[in-house]
Structure 1
Amino acid sequence: MRRKEKRLLQFAGLLIAALLFLPNVGLWSLYRDRVFDNSPDTVDGPGGIPIIQGLNRMGKDAQVGRDGVRRKDWHDYEAIKRDASRSGNGEQGKAFPLSEADRVDQAYRENGFNIYVSDRISLNRSLPDIRHPNCKQKLYAERLPNTSIIIPFHNEGWSSLLRTVHSVLNRSPPQLIAEVILVDDYSDKEHLKVALEEYMVRMPKVRILRTKKREGLIRTRLLGAGAAKGEVITFLDSHCEANVNWLPPLLDRIAQNRKSIVCPMIDVIDHDNFGYETQAGDAMRGAFDWEMYYKRIPIPPELQKEDPSEPFESPVMAGGLFAVDRKWFWELGGYDTGLEIWGGEQYEISFKVWMCGGRMEDIPCSRVGHIYRKYVPYKVPGGVSLARVFTFGWREDVRVGDPMHTKKVCFDAISHNSPVTLYDCHGMKGNQLWRYRKDKSLYHPVSNSCIDSSPTERRVFMNTCDPGSPSQQWLFERTNATVLERFNRGNN
């Protein structure tokens, strides 16, 4: 009898232990899954601010992921709260109410955007948080590389330049900003000289570099990059506004893969009224057409991610705003110093990244507003820059494409002052007859004129030949002088 009682007691003990132990195993599994998952349970606190709750709270706001990396919430909730309480002209990114007096041409002439309106908006204005809601819950590595913010400028408006700097400093964790480098490309405006130096004294992380002559965008950027001390280089334009928590999402991707070049989503600041809006269509990636014009095209449905707030790969970037590991940037060779202005540098750096084993990514949770000018308000160094990039095949005409795989289209012009178009090659010379002269011009015997270009209208057309005009000089690399001479002689 005692033996049976003993067995019953043992069985009961095992049953009690199981009842106590198994639920705890379940609780441990739940704890483990939540702690090591990078998608914490959250609730909205005051003002819609997400608060991490429950078992996935470690320390103040950090978690340890499955990869062993401690991650935390980088939002500055005090700054968000302050911004939410602001009101006034342009606050919360609202459009400034324009009168007819505000739209005078002089307002745009010096900057390509309405500087009168810009001057009437706070340098610390608040912006709408238009990120995907999932971005408010994301955690990023507790230890991120710091960055040098490089902002090149030439004759930039006072308020637009300062607003760029203020937004970067106001909305970036201080420990992530190694420095802000303003690179002046030989500006001649008085407000960008002593006044700018005196203003920036109050901002110890900001320093100003100046070129000794007009260099253009690319060499100006390179000057800043060469002086940078941060682990990461972040390039911005001089008329931008950084939005909420814009920097950690960029640096986190570089921390995971130093060969990633990452771009924020570029929002639109209206050049008239300075209203802040999202660019049309977030599920878009960079691309270009056969004329080398940058475009944004939809991501194919099969490549779209379930979470639209997740980073996605892009073939090329827009070019003006991106972050890159400083050493990786120089391993890539930086920029080609022969690039005079914009309109090609984004392709060069993008192609090198992909060919050298890197990645190009757009980061939806990082947003920066940018003013798209009404027009370019100043002359560019080195003449003009044409968006169309061709490889020519020299035959009895001028054909576009690699000489070994020539497309069946040729340069075609009808008469003097007519546009230059691409037309099916007909082999009859005439409108498609060309000579490449010693003065580097492309001469058209039929119209007795040369190909000219218009940087403002972005087109090419026929014009009276002028050997001294830089807009009529077309430079070709790797030309065979013997073949070219035979080409021109044959056309005679």
Structure 2
Amino acid sequence: MIFNEADQEVRDSGYHRHAFNVLISNRLGFHRQLPETRDAQCREKSYPVALPSASVVICFFNEALSALLRTVHSVLDRTPAYLLHEIILVDDHSELEELKDELDRYVRAELQGKVQLVRNQRREGLIRGRMIGASHATGGLFAMNRKYFNELGQYDAGMDIWGGENLEISFRIWMCGGQLFIIPCSRVGHIFRKRRPYGSPGGHDTMAHNSLRLAHVWMDGYKEQYLSLRPELRNRSYGDIGERVALRKRLQCHSFRWYLDTVYPEMQTAANGNKQQPLFINKGLKRPKVLQRGRLRNLAIRRCLVAQGRASQKGGAVVLRPCDPRDPDQDWAYDEEGQLILAGLLCLDVSEVRTFDPPRLMKCHGSGGSQQWSLGKSNRIYQVSVGQCLAAVSQPIGQKGYVSMAICDGSQTQQWQLEA
């Protein structure tokens, strides 16, 4: 593909502003052919004709116009007309010029009667943006009955911008008498960026704020386990949760212990000798194939990456120590999903929000993102989600250890060898 100077400018500014290749997005246009990624059995599945129509709410902030409109047309092109009641676009106070008059004209001229554009007068964030979209919707909401959505209290309006709302709504639905179902034949595409192209107003850590609200409303005594991993948040303000606590009481919701015992028993180990059979068992689950195995030695420091404490300690830091081929707790496995697993127990993980935090060991979730690594060129260990490389530092950084995430620069401190 040949690029001229104008193309280069679009591509560079696109990466800076949107964290993906806007030049390619613009050339794709608004209609895109997609491969069939579902299981072959899905093609033979039939659905009832008499299904309720749905309103689809799409929130955006400073999104690339081509990607936004391709999303809209993808919904229109792939949804039977009798099932799609409307699409509601919620502009969360975007600043980009192309999302103002140009978008208004396109919605009026090309999407007449199909799309409603709602503009927030201030930055509300994804969570309140969804609620604003829901308030304008006149059909069902996605796959959720409107009455059911409102009965269970909608999202927590005290949560800011982004983060934690998915867990909050999951806990609330299950603990308050509802259920969530997985639709295996459903596919939703996602532009997976290497970093968040926008921040939060004032630079606040909204994930921490939202997670604290979630923990204090729904997790009962188990919130202490979260706070033990993030002790710096123990005295942090998280706003008024009185309305959410009253909602839980009014709905007569179950305890978080009930949630762990009944809905997600896999999350907890045997407690008090009570070994409960998991409610959901995927007997066809296949573990990813291990591609490489060995000790992770840094070529500059000439030490190996290990757990700071126990290799089984979830949330624990990783540090560099003398290599010992006889120590099983120095054994890393790199699998086909891009996971780096220490001693067969926990995965190397990074925060996708607090990218300055050092990596840590967390339960393997199998969803890529914060646990997807690439052992690429020049012996670097590249974190796909945050777009940075694992690096050794010559001096300890406080109590956080000897490794960090850094912009990839090819230096020897960012070179690692996975050696048997």
Give the structure-1-normalised TM-score: 0.43
Structure of higher RCO (CA pairs closer than 8 Å, 6+ residues apart): 1
**More strand per residue: 1 or 2?**
1
